[in-house]
Structure 1
Amino acid sequence: MLIAVKNLTKVYGKGPLAVRALDVESLEIKEGEMAAVTGPSGCGKTTLLNLIGALDGPTGGEIFFKGERISGRGETALCRFRREKVGFVFQAYHLIPSLSALKNVLVPAVPLGGGRVRRARELLRLVGLAGKESRRPGELSGGEQQRVAVARALLLDPELILADEPTGNLDSAAGAEIMELLKSLNRRGKTVIVATHDRRVAESCGRVIRLADGRVVS
């Protein structure tokens, strides 16, 4: 088992303005799975991914990674966990406009003292961008920018890839290419969790987890 959550809750705000965004009694993700988290806007998809990836902390409950509890750890330990174990792919790409594709892929290595240029080039080739290493985000299509983001997520060889609406800003053809890329990574052994409201994207994954009002309903 790679990920397990128990009685996981997230509440935003306090008092009468408090909003219970997530309330998941139990959820497990096995190593090597490709799972989609789906449901209507506001159902808690992004909140769940952010908690699993330690980008945010839960209000209550526990999160385990390979049997070790990560919820409640200090920020230094959580930073190490995010850097070493998790690769993030966001809907808005979050590339740095002034940097080339190659340098954007290398961003996660900056706190480690740089290096890994050869690996970054290999990853750009893997995602189909060989020859475009020097191009800046503004010189790439939306699908190409998302491919750079996927390569960046892989730089430090994480065990888990969290993709939050990775096709949300793309047309259907580019979206299908990104999903095929994520599926190919899953076939290589990566565990992939995709948050999506797109039924076709969800059904292309090996497992579908449906949320409604912050709860797992199927």
Structure 2
Amino acid sequence: MILQANKLCKEYDQGEKRIFAVRNATFSMEEGEFAAIVGTSGSGKSTLLSMLGGIEKPTSGEVILDGENLYEARDDRLSEIRNRQIGFVFQSYQLLPVLTLRENILIPQMIAGGGSKYYMEELCDLLGIRDRLDHLPSEASGGQQQRAAVARALVNKPKILFADEPTGNLDKQSAKELLDLLMKTREKLGQTILLVTHDPEIAARADTIWRMDGGVLEKEGGTARC
């Protein structure tokens, strides 16, 4: 098992009101699996993804990635895990506008202190953007920018790729092409993928579908609450 979460809860204080964003979520994934979490806006799915990816600390519960408890790790170790073992793709691309696509893609390797230029170019061939690498994000289409964001997320060969509404800013054709490319990375690289979406058509291509509603995560009829 590559990823496991046990009884994750996330609570916020909003004035005198207590908000339960995620309620006692239990989750697991196998290596090489493609799983999707589907739910409407505000259901808690992005908060859950942030906790699973080591970005946002849960109020309670644990996340274990490849046998290591993320929230028992020291801050420097957690940063290392996020850089080397986890890849993140966001809806808004989050590319630095003053850097070329190539420079954006290489940022994780620079932070890690080096990496394979050949592997980066192989990734860009796979994603169909090698001829755009020396262009700025403003000179690329939305689909090309999101492919560059995927390449950046994969360049350090992470154990798992988290994708938070990666097709949300794309038209239908570009969204289909991006999803096809994600499936290709899984086929060619054996990549484990966890994708969050509100689109049931996208979720339908996953091996496993989880549903989030009101902070409650459900798979095949099983629910858990705190």
What TM-score results when the alignment is normalised by the length of structure 1?
0.95
Query: What is the aligned partner in structure 2 of residue 173 from structure 1?
Result: 173
Q: What is the correspondence of 1:113-192 to structure 2 with a 5 Å cutoff?
A: 113-114=113-114, 116-187=116-187, 188-192=189-193
Distance 2:145 2:100 in 1: 11
* Paired residue secondary structure (1:23): strand
Contact 1:121 1:133 in 2 (8 A): no
Residue 169 of structure 1 deviates from its aligned partner by 0.2
Structure 1 ranges of 4+ moved more than 6 A = none
Identity of aligned residues (%): 38
* Paired residue secondary structure (1:131): helix
Q: What is the correspondence of 1:94-113 to structure 2 with a 5 Å cutoff?
A: 94-113=94-113
Residue 23 of structure 1 deviates from its aligned partner by 1.3
Distance 2:110 2:130 in 1: 22
Distance 1:76 1:15 in 2: 33
Q: Which runs of 5+ in 1 are unaligned?
A: none
* Paired residue secondary structure (2:71): coil
Q: 1:81 to 1:101 in 2, by over 3 A?
A: same
Residues 60-108 of structure 1: CA distance to partner in whole angstroms, max 9, x if unpaired? 0111112322223221111011011101100000001111111110011
Residue 27 of structure 1 deviates from its aligned partner by 1.4
Query: What is the aligned partner in structure 1 of residue 215 from structure 2?
Result: 214
Residue 207 of structure 1 deviates from its aligned partner by 1.2
* Paired residue secondary structure (2:4): strand
* Paired residue secondary structure (2:28): strand
Residue 114 of structure 1 deviates from its aligned partner by 4.7
How many aligned positions are there?
218
RMSD: 1.5
Residue 15 of structure 1 deviates from its aligned partner by 6.4
Q: Residue 155 of structure 1 aligns to which amino acid in structure 2?
A: V
Q: Residue 39 of structure 2 aligns to which amino acid in structure 1?
A: G
Residue 115 of structure 1 deviates from its aligned partner by 5.5
Query: What is the aligned partner in structure 2 of residue 33 from structure 1?
Result: 33
Q: Residue 197 of structure 2 aligns to which amino acid in structure 1?
A: T
Residues 155-203 of structure 1: CA distance to partner in whole angstroms, max 9, x if unpaired? 1000100000000000000000111111111223111000000111111
* Paired residue secondary structure (1:194): strand
* Paired residue secondary structure (2:194): strand
Distance 2:113 2:7 in 1: 39
Q: Residue 7 of structure 1 aligns to which amino acid in structure 2?
A: K
Distance 1:202 1:25 in 2: 19
Q: What is the correspondence of 1:1-150 to structure 2 with a 5 Å cutoff?
A: 1-13=1-13, 16-114=16-114, 116-150=116-150
